[in-house]
Every structure is written in C-alpha cells, then in structure tokens.
Amino acid sequence: MNVVLITGAAGLVGSEAVRFFSARDFHVVGIDNDMRKTFFGEDASTQWNRQNLEETIPNYAHHNIDIREETAINKLFADYGNDISVVIHTAAQPSHDWAAQAPLVDFTVNANGTLVMLEATRAHCPDAAFIFTSTNKVYGDAPNSLPLVEQATRWEIETSHPFYKHGIDESMSIDQTKHSLFGVSKLAADTLVQEYGRYFEMKTGCFRGGCITGPDHSGTMLHGFLSYLVKCAITETPYTILGYKGKQVRDNIHAHDLVNMFWNYAQNPRPGEVYNAGGGRHSNCSILEAVAICEQLSGKSMNISYREDARIGDHIWYVSDTRKFQEHYPDWHYQFNLQQIIKQIYDNMSQRLDCSGSPT
C-alpha cells in the first residue's frame, strides 16, 4: 500500500492534496480536528469539506486528531509505518492577526505540532518525503524595506531592483524583522523542517506560500483574502481595507498549483530545501485590483470602506520568485492565473451560498 498522510486534510491545501494524491492511487490518511472553527468561528469551519472528501474519495480515511497529541499521532503513524511514502503537513493556525490573541495556542499548534509530526515521521517512516506548508511571513516585514513606488492601483518595486523581474527569492533575510507571532511560530517550524533534512538527512522540504487560494477555502475576515473578498462581493457584505490605500500587492497561487509542486518534490525530494511558492509575476494583484475583478464578475459595486491603520507587519508588496523550484523541477508549471482563480472561486461560491449568504 502506498500511503500519503495529510494533516489539515479538510482545509484548503490539505483537501486539494487529498484529491490530487487520491487520483494517483495513493491511500490517503487525513488528520483534521476542525480547529479552524475554534480559531475563526462557525463560518470558517472546514466540516463541509471533510464531509465532501469522505463522501467522494473512496480511498480516504479521516482522523479527528489534534496534531499536538503525540500519543494519538504516533499510534496512527505506527498503524501505517513504512507504507507512508509522503507526509504533507498543512495543519496550522494560519492567521497573522489571530496569533496575537492566543500566542500559546498559535505556537503550540504551529511549532510544537510540526515537531510532533517530524518526530513521528522519523520514528515510523524516515524515508518518507516530508512536505511543509510554510509562509512568506518567515521573512517578517523585511520586504517592506524594498524600494517601492506608488502607482495608480498598486505599489510596485523599482524597475532597477533585482527582484523586479521575477519577485523575491529565498535569499531574503529571515532575521531581525517584525514577523508577527504567527510568523515566528511558522519560522520555528520552517527551521525545524530544514534541520530534519540537514541534521537527520530526512527528505524534508519547506514551501513558503504567498497567498494560497482556491474554491475550497473557508474564507473569513482573518484568513483567506481572495475567498473572503469574493464572499463579500456575492453576499453584499461590507469589506474593510486596512492601510496602504488598498494598493498592497499579494501574489496568489491556486492550491492545485501548490500541490502539484508537492507532487513533483515527492518524486525526487531534495533534503532540507526551501522554496518560495506563490503566484509570482504570473498571478498577483493589489486589493483594489482584486475588488475591480470581483465587481466585474458580480456586475455590482462592492461596499468598501477604508481604515488608515495597516495590519501590523503587513506586506506592502510581495511577489514570490519561484525560479528555484522551476529549475529543480522543470516539469512543474502554473495552471491557473489570477482571473481564472477568482472566477473559479466566484462560480463555486455562488453555488455553495444560498441567496441569504449562508453556507448551504
């Protein structure tokens, strides 16, 4: 039996990975305790997605376990042992802003939880590829010291800067910047994952996501920017932009394109590697530009308000340079661009929401 073990299996990236690997004849073992509901409330619950996986994926087994529960995690790993050839670790407290409310919860889920997963992998299936969904927040607010210029709808980096053409690469410093507590807990996990590659020579890889997105996101105000924006457009819910005139730029990668990176990596893993994994120059937008696309799709003006106070440590301009990954794995290519991503979220969410805006 060829087993992939996926944490956060009902979340955006996890569920995409379940479908992707299941279609390639893996037996899929998913772990998710719907902690997203605890973090962000009922609207953000991933229970609907878990149910969908259980109903539609025949080779899928779900386990309602907290990744911090060492005994339960080790028992599950022991059940499959060396049949596990890939571990994809996506379970996390994913919000930059939420972390400050409960630093102990954030750190134990993101850092300790990752350590539990690494140790279980080392004990039970040390040859497995271990894939970690890290974040561009490991660079803290260092990107904000790049030379930026204001344009009509977005901030841009100066054309003479080496990052202009392809975006920010992995040489960006992770040190001495403001990370947010979330950035710190993810950085602790990211360096642990690297260390298990370098010290124990395990096949560990870190993928530092930009904005990861797609129709399976349970978008909420504190996490899932495009998904939440589209939800507001459909349900005519007011949306508040925080700071930087709404011109802050994010790169957006479809969860499918990210999981396809995992697939390529898993077939030829390079121990301890780190990759920037966002939409890059291929797929990025400012908030104002994303609002314009949503308005075009819905045919209605959005109810947008603006507050001067930016989120602490928010990136003003972040575009990932994914050339290192493309060089290591030349078969990988983007399948989705920004317009396709937003349209797919829009169509999918229009079907999922009834006319009062409640999840159906």
Stretch in the footprint of ligand NAD (CB under 6 A) among 211-219, 235-243, 262-270, 328-336: 211-219
Size of the site for ligand NAD (CB under 6 A): 28
**List of E strands, 74-195:** 84-89, 129-135, 148-150, 155-157
- The residue behind tokens 């149910």 is 51
For residue 220, state whether it binds ligand NAD (rule: CB under 6 A).
Answer: no
**List of E strands, the chain:** 3-7, 27-31, 60-63, 84-89, 129-135, 148-150, 155-157, 203-209, 211-213, 239-242, 249-254, 273-277, 284-286, 304-307
For residue 143, state whether it binds ligand NAD (rule: CB under 6 A).
Answer: no
For residue 190, state whether it binds ligand NAD (rule: CB under 6 A).
Answer: no
Burial class (CB in 10 A: 0-12, 13-18, 19+), 233: buried
For residue 170, state whether it binds ligand NAD (rule: CB under 6 A).
Answer: no
For residue 322, state whether it binds ligand NAD (rule: CB under 6 A).
Answer: no
- Strand order through the sheet with 3-7: 60-63, 27-31, 3-7, 84-89, 129-135, 203-209, 273-277
For residue 140, state whether it binds ligand NAD (rule: CB under 6 A).
Answer: no
Instruction: Find the binder of ligand NAD among 3, 10, 73, 120 (CB under 6 A).
Output: 10
Q: Which two tokens stand for residue 246?
A: 């709404």
8 Å CB contact between 190 and 182:
no
**Rounded distance between C-alpha atoms, residue 305 and residue 238, angstroms:** 7
- Near ligand NAD in 84-113, by CB under 6 A: 90-92, 94, 109, 113
Instruction: Find the binder of ligand NAD among 85, 121, 133, 144 (CB under 6 A).
Output: 133
Question: If we measure between CA atoms, which residue out of 83, 89, 29 comes closest to residue 53?
Answer: 29
**Rounded distance between C-alpha atoms, residue 269 and residue 329, angstroms:** 10
Instruction: Please identify, using beta-carbon distances, which residue of 92 and 232 lies nearer to ligand NAD.
Output: 92
- Residue 79, H or E segment: helix 70-80
For residue 66, state whether it binds ligand NAD (rule: CB under 6 A).
Answer: yes
Instruction: Find the binder of ligand NAD among 18, 32, 131, 273 (CB under 6 A).
Output: 32
Instruction: Please identify, using beta-carbon distances, which residue of 41 and 162 lies nearer to ligand NAD.
Output: 41
Instruction: Find the binder of ligand NAD among 29, 35, 57, 206 (CB under 6 A).
Output: 35
For residue 125, state whether it binds ligand NAD (rule: CB under 6 A).
Answer: no
Stretch in the footprint of ligand NAD (CB under 6 A) among 60-68, 300-308, 316-324, 350-358: 60-68
8 Å CB contact between 313 and 138:
no
Stretch in the footprint of ligand NAD (CB under 6 A) among 26-34, 139-147, 173-181, 266-274: 26-34
- Near ligand NAD in 289-308, by CB under 6 A: none
Residue 207 main-chain phi, psi, to 5 deg: -115, 110
**Rounded distance between C-alpha atoms, residue 360 and residue 182, angstroms:** 31
Instruction: Please identify, using beta-carbon distances, which residue of 154 and 217 lies nearer to ligand NAD.
Output: 217
Instruction: Please identify, using beta-carbon distances, which residue of 135 and 248 lies nearer to ligand NAD.
Output: 135
Stretch in the footprint of ligand NAD (CB under 6 A) among 64-72, 145-153, 197-205, 306-314: 64-72
**Rounded distance between C-alpha atoms, residue 227 and residue 342, angstroms:** 8
For residue 276, state whether it binds ligand NAD (rule: CB under 6 A).
Answer: no
Instruction: Find the binder of ligand NAD among 22, 121, 135, 144 (CB under 6 A).
Output: 135
Q: Which residues make up the interface to ligand NAD (CB under 6 A)?
A: 8, 10-14, 31-36, 46, 66-68, 90-92, 94, 109, 113, 133, 135, 209, 211-212, 217
